[in-house]
Amino acid sequence: MPLVTRVPAGYDTLTGEVKAWDYKELMNEEILKPMKILVATEKPFAKKAVDGIRAIFDKAGYQTVLLEKYTDKAQLLEAVADVDAMIIRSDKVTAEVIAAARNLKIVVRAGAGYDNVDLAAASAKGVVVMNTPGQNSNAVAELALAMMIFMSRNRFTPGTGSEIQGKTLAIHAYGNVGKLVGRKGKALGMNVIAYDPFITDAAVFEKDGVEKVDSVEDLYSRADFLSLHIPATPQTVKSIGYDLMMSMPKGATLVNTARKEVIDEEGVMRAMTEREDLKYITDIAPEAAADMAEKFGKRFFATPKKMGAETAEANINAGLAAASQIVDYFVNGNVKFQVNK
């Protein structure tokens, strides 16, 4: 009698639970071969995270393959050739990578953002893409507040700075990170306002003691510190530029821990040139970072590498969550965190 396995064929769109299954007869090589999971990280996880990921897969009977600190796309293309699943961080999973992965069934991005994965190519090949929302949120939120203090104190160089207490903290996108930024800002005595076009219920903001504003223009016009948390989508790419920057109050600071693609660099530079009181700090170095640093001095700063999730805690949390989601998908068909439905 042939051995069969079941594969998900239909899902509940609200819960992510499997509603229907298809059954597939296993070939001899599939019966004998363990599931192969690639952990592909140009910037590797901490050792504790890797050990935890490996332990989760070992318990499930899966084989863990590590590709760390790779320097050439060809290495990634070779590594994905025969894997069933992969975990990534900021690594780019392009259409070319997906095409090279003949057995690939699921990709999990250890983190919230997933614009480094070609969702259309994955969907076309039937590959599930997930993220791990919330696992890096506290690390990013703490960095955002640290950036505000850093800029308000003249980047810790001689000279009189200012305090953030009593200032207006404006949050653009009120998701996991935005909520934590707001909570921490309030603890530091800031007046917190927020805008999120996808949250229409004012009670969501009110229960956190945050004022809901009704437009992005209103948000920026009141922001002493603007904390940016929007994703990079066709609608948001280059959406933050000259007009919004020029509308900000005197001495305002734009803080970007989101994506560099949402910034209109030319527009931001033009605004900062015309107004010598504006400041910009980002965790994602702009293409024009060198020019900005030369032109604007202490009014601009970019981290050398993206630092938002670079804490031991976030590193471990996101990695373990990614591994657990892969096992849950293969065992139970759970697609709760799928982003390419």
Averaged pLDDT in 10-residue chunks for the chain of 341 residues: 48 51 50 84 94 97 97 97 96 97 97 92 97 93 98 95 98 96 98 96 96 97 98 94 98 96 97 98 95 97 89 93 97 96 78
The fourth-level CATH superfamily of domain 34-135+312-332 is NAD(P)-binding Rossmann-like Domain (3.40.50.720)
Within a 13 Å sphere around the CA of 238, how many CA atoms are in the beta-carbon half?
A: 6
Residue 112 confidence (pLDDT): 84
Same topology, domains 34-135+312-332 and 137-302? Answer is yes
Residue 242 confidence (pLDDT): 98
- CA–CA distance, 188 with 191 (Å, rounded to integer): 9
| Residue from 109, 101, 112, 113 nearest 135 by CA | 112
Which stretch of DSSP H or E encloses residue 86?
strand 85-88
Residue 30 confidence (pLDDT): 47
Residue 56 confidence (pLDDT): 97
Residue 306 confidence (pLDDT): 85
Count of beta carbons in the 10 Å neighbourhood of residue 265: 18
Within a 13 Å sphere around the CA of 205, how many CA atoms are in the beta-carbon half?
A: 23
- CA–CA distance, 196 with 175 (Å, rounded to integer): 8
Domain ranges, ordered by start, for the chain: 34-135+312-332, 137-302
pTM: 0.79
CATH topology of domain 137-302: Rossmann fold (3.40.50)
Residue 170 confidence (pLDDT): 98
- CA–CA distance, 79 with 241 (Å, rounded to integer): 40
Residue 10 confidence (pLDDT): 55
| Residue from 255, 216, 218 nearest 236 by CA | 216
Strand-by-strand arrangement of the 85-88 sheet: 63-68, 36-41, 85-88, 106-109, 128-131
Phi, psi of 235 (to 5 degrees): -80, -25
Residue 324 confidence (pLDDT): 97
